[in-house]
Amino acid sequence: MKQKSFEEAIERLDEIVTNLETGEVALEESIKLFEEGMQLSKYCMEKLTEAERKLQKLARKEDGDFQLELMP
């Protein structure tokens, strides 16, 4: 799969879901779309997990506000 941004992957996944929901796609094409959708879903989950790790620690600053600390 060509490297896509998260947003591009979500957009393509939405297209696939729409196509499959219509029920107008042939069986073989449906299988290909389903496989592509599963790959895109995995890719998006990995990107979200990566983003979550980077943003997971919230530390209290001295003035009482919160500061987001990025994790390596």
Q: Taking the alpha carbons of 29, 15, 6, 8 in that order, is the dihedral positive or negative?
A: positive
Give the angle 34-40-10 at the CA atoms, nearest 5°.
Answer: 110
Position 56 scores a pLDDT of 63
Q: Which of 48, 68, 72 is nearest to 59 (CA)?
A: 68
pTM equals 0.73
70 pLDDT more than 70: no
The pLDDT tens digits for 16-68 are 999 999 999 999 999 999 999 999 999 999 999 988 777 665 555 566 666 66
Q: The tokens of 28 are what?
A: 């073989």
Position 10 scores a pLDDT of 97
